[in-house]
Amino acid sequence: MRTAVSILISILLFTGDALGQSTSEPVSVPSDRETKPAKREPRDARSRDMRQAPIRSMADLSRYLDEHASSPFDAFSDRARELFVESLTLNEVGLTGFRTAEVESELTPQQAHAVLSLFGVQGTVSSLQFESRTEERTEGFQHASADDILGELADRVRTLDRDIDNLSLKLTRMQGVFANVLEAVDRASIGNLSDTDVKDFFEITMLLASYSNEPTYVSQMRRAFDELEKRKFSTRQQAHRMRDQYIAARMILDATEFASARPNLGLKKSPRFVESASPQARPWLWRLSTDGSTLENHAFQVDPDTAVVVVASPWCSFSRAASVAVANDRELSPLMARNSTWILAQISVRDFDDIREWNETFPGQPLQMVDRNADWPDLELLKTPIFYFYRGGEIVTTVSGWPGPEQLEKLRAGFSSLGLSDSRPVDSGK
């Protein structure tokens, strides 16, 4: 499962409908998602690129590396190349996922295009946030050495992130490893860690903070960032992730202080959070103002009779396809506008303009932000889109994923199960 906070970027987000076999399942929300959706190429072009790519399996990759003394992979440092290759996931169609961290921090757009072209997914380059836009990669960061103490633990965390789909289990296992990480860092003192260890410490804490949104891990993430910054190795991308994770954890004052202290980084201004709801009235939803300048919270309550809650994401191509289909359906569009509430999980938001743009495009299905994922225990918030149909406060029907317009009939059936039609408006409290 590609969750909101995974370092892996799902190729299905951009090309899933061209792959044929994966679109019937919900697509997970890119949770630390710091990128915007790539410009979508024509379906035939995307399919052709992957079919004609020289690397479509691990065997192809091994053969390619054996046959080429030099290749686009040479643009990576040795450790970054190792991490990138270890992260690759492939199926019978080709590449389905890869770590973006090394691509964004070590390569230029031109170098990334050359690497990803080998897999036929060069169309994803436009979605990445690169540290360098020049042809030459900046050197200076110490790479792995005999003094490193976190390398093995960091690899264990990355393996857990890659191999475990269940979020609760993934987080529990990561927390177990992190206890050892923290013990090692505290024993050595963070100032005595190698540069590579500090970078690994930042990545580990970022993963745990992103999956849990717990202030404890966000504070450790800040500890790692401060050490990188002290050594003059912090990057603008890491600063973005730090500020965005503060917001995801609803540590708004910390986010404001962090951004204000670094005006030279040009961190995009986030909306002003206005708390209007009673602290006891849970769950909260945050509603973005029309101009995107303010987020105001309000208490949400499922209608005691009938209601629909839709979990969606502006960065999920299947969520967008579902919204387009619903908006263009003469029967479902008014039903959905009157009876549904569309929500975005508590995740890191790189650009609130993406939510504002969604709400402008789909005024009948505006997205509101969940305050705390824990307040919605009955919903799977990190996969999108999912439609939950409620009767009497209980979920009676669920429609998951968006393989295509055939899902429209399932939505009609869902509304019918609630006894709703175009002539029977119900206010769900949206």
pLDDT tens readout for residues 62-107: 888 888 888 889 888 887 888 888 888 888 778 888 888 888 888 8
Task: For residue 330, give every residue at least 6 positions away whose Cβ sits within 8 Å of its Cβ, in sequence order, or none.
Answer: none
Task: Give the mean model confidence (pLDDT) for residues 402-411.
Answer: 93
Rounded distance between C-alpha atoms, residue 5 and residue 9, angstroms: 10
Q: Kindly list the domain boundaries of the chain, sorted by start residue.
A: 8-127, 151-265, 284-417
- Beta strand 386-391 pairing with 394-400: antiparallel
SS3 408: helix
**Contact criterion met (CB below 8 Å) for 395 and 422:** no
pLDDT at 359 over 90: yes
The residue behind tokens 């404001």 is: 256
Task: Give the mean model confidence (pLDDT) for residues 172-188.
Answer: 95
| Confidence (pLDDT) at 28 | 41
Question: Crossing angle for the helix pair 236-248 and 252-260, nearest 10 degrees?
Answer: 160
Question: Which tokens hold the place of 64?
Answer: 């390619």
Rounded distance between C-alpha atoms, residue 137 and residue 420, angstroms: 59
State the amino acid at position 128 in one-letter form.
L
Task: For residue 279, give every residue at least 6 positions away whose Cβ sits within 8 Å of its Cβ, in sequence order, or none.
Answer: none
Task: For residue 186, give every residue at least 6 positions away whose Cβ sits within 8 Å of its Cβ, in sequence order, or none.
Answer: none
Rounded distance between C-alpha atoms, residue 319 and residue 384, angstroms: 6
Task: Give the mean model confidence (pLDDT) for residues 306-334.
Answer: 94
Rounded distance between C-alpha atoms, residue 322 and residue 3, angstroms: 19
Question: Which tokens hold the place of 153?
Answer: 């633990």
Rounded distance between C-alpha atoms, residue 228 and residue 218, angstroms: 15
Q: 6 pLDDT band (50/70/90 cuts)?
A: very low
Q: 138 pLDDT band (50/70/90 cuts)?
A: very low
| Confidence (pLDDT) at 302 | 83
Backbone angles phi and psi of 255, in degrees to 5: -60, -45
**Highest CATH level, class, for 284-417:** alpha beta
pLDDT at 5 over 50: no
**Strands laid side by side in the 8-10 sheet:** 8-10, 95-99, 89-90
Task: Give pairs for 110-115: CB < 8 Å, separation 24+.
Answer: 110/135, 111/72, 111/75, 111/137, 114/72, 114/75, 115/72, 115/73, 115/75
pLDDT at 20 over 70: no
The more confidently predicted of residues 270 and 135 is 270
Rounded distance between C-alpha atoms, residue 321 and residue 327, angstroms: 10
| H or E stretch at 297 | strand 294-299
| Confidence (pLDDT) at 65 | 85
| Confidence (pLDDT) at 309 | 96
| Confidence (pLDDT) at 40 | 42
Task: Give the mean model confidence (pLDDT) for residues 55-62.
Answer: 89
Q: How many residues does the chain have?
A: 430
What is the pTM (predicted TM-score) of this model?
0.70
Rounded distance between C-alpha atoms, residue 63 and residue 94, angstroms: 15
**Contact criterion met (CB below 8 Å) for 38 and 127:** yes
| DSSP calls for 79-147 | HHHHHHHHH-EE-SSSEEEEE-HHHHHH--HHHHHHHHHTTT-GGGGGG---S--SSSPPP------TT
